[in-house]
Amino acid sequence: MKICVVGLGNIGFNLFAHLCHKFPGEIIGVDVNETRVKELRSQGYRVTADYRALTGIDVWLMAPSTGNQGQNLFAALEQMIIRPGSLISIESTLPPGTMSRVSEFLEGKGFILGTDLFLIHVPHRVMFGVDKTVCDTPRVMGAFTRACLEKGRQFYDPLVPLLVEVSDIRVAELSKVVENVKRYVDVAFAQEIYGYCVDQGMDYDDLRLAVNSKNNVELLATDWGIGGECLPKDMSFLRTVCNSILLEGAEQADRNYRDRIVNQVGSGKQVLVRGLSYKTGVKDLKHSRGVDLVRALEAAGNTVWVEDPLFTSDELSGSGFSPNDVVDQRIEKQSKEKDSVVLDRQKALNFQ
Ligand SMILES: NC(=O)c1ccc[n+]([C@@H]2O[C@H](COP(=O)([O-])OP(=O)(O)OC[C@H]3O[C@@H](n4cnc5c(N)ncnc54)[C@H](O)[C@@H]3O)[C@@H](O)[C@H]2O)c1
């Protein structure tokens, strides 16, 4: 079997590395980012940036970043040399309706799905920081034909703990988007209730303890807001196809939450922002609401210092922030003074 992983980012590379152990000598990876390919090659991985080198592939596992209209996926499909009889599994998260466009695209190339080409959608749902490998979580699989499902089952059954087959491929698409949007709405709800608790002088941690004592309820902790790449992106995928006041409200609630933090701080202050990564425990500043908050506080006329246990001072200053320790814990020393504010990521509205 010759297996190709398309897109070697967070998901694709982890999948590729995992499969290298399972199918030694059978895996190759492709990414359009030549720097990434060079880096992985120098570490001994069998990868390429040239689709022309990929002939006779039996299984294509596709995990490129999707693009807001699925354009990266179609760019990849356009370049793949697809052999009759092969299996194409799309693992990226898709805007609802994309699989229909993929099937039209492949049929336009002369393939008959379920006969000479097998197409499935098996969206990824790994939780980095929780799962040990990218294949530890139950997966959902959808296809247009039974034969495609059957082919997909043969490949994925030995790989994942549970394969949930759905008869309508749109359900597979929507399941991943809904999973993330549900989380988005839960966080927005938590932000609203946290704000209400602060208004009423109630302790939000106590409320969580009380509510979460029932095993089918989870009131989440808050952070700087709803960041990372996936949740906001998947919310926008869903909002494009589903007109919902609730979803609109959740997006607005998230914006309001950061506006409230900035308004509470006011201007002309020395502010210490504690925690900058997009989520606790993940060293990544991309799509971080902590970063957005720092910039909004600065725009409001404050001087902002930052700290994050995941980053060194050099890394923080290299990314354009003022690390707190270079001024010898300046803010904490001043914290009793009225022009200084310390903001903690899960207590953003509770500062003195
Ligand atoms: N990161 C997560 O936690 C997570 C979880 C579940 C699902 N997903 C989904 O998985 C997909 C990939 O996410 P990611 O975090 O790995 O993204 P990423 O940005 O880390 O990596 C995507 C990679 O795809 C490559 N790429 C783009 N167009 C390509 C093309 N035409 N051919 C080959 N490679 C191409 C990029 O160069 C990049 O290296 C997305 O759809 C995302 O929504 C991500």
Query: How confident is the model over 72-83, as pLDDT tens digits?
Result: 999 999 999 999
Distance of CA 31 to the CA centre of its chain: 19
What ligand 1 atom has the least distance to the C-alpha of 33? Answer: 37
Question: pLDDT by residue (tens digit) across 151-203?
Answer: 999 999 999 999 999 999 999 999 999 999 999 999 999 999 999 999 999 99
Q: Which residues line ligand 1 (CB under 6 A)?
A: 6-12, 30-33, 36, 63-66, 72, 75-76, 92-93, 124-126, 128, 230
What is the model's pLDDT at position 33? Answer: 97
Residue 114 Cα to ligand 1 midpoint, Å, equals 27
Q: How far is residue 315's CA from residue 206's CA, in Å, rounded to a whole number?
A: 36
* Structural domains of the chain sorted by starting position, each given as residue range(s) with its CATH number in brackets: 3-167 (3.40.50.720), 222-344 (3.40.50.720)
Question: What are φ and ψ of residue 70, in 5° steps?
Answer: 80, 15
Which of the four pLDDT bands, split at 50, 70 and 90, describes residue 70? Answer: confident
- Mean residue pLDDT of the chain comes to 94
Average pLDDT over residues 220-243: 95
Res. 327 pLDDT band, cuts 50 70 90: low
pLDDT at 307 over 70: yes
Length of the chain: 352
The pLDDT of residue 329 is 54
Q: Please report where in the chains the tokens 């001072």 appear, as a residue.
A: 313
Cα of 65 from ligand 1 centre, angstroms? 3
Q: What is the pTM of this model?
A: 0.92
pLDDT tens digits along 140-158: 999 999 999 999 999 999 9
pLDDT recorded at residue 352: 60
Query: For the CA atoms of the chain, what is the radius of gyration?
Result: 23
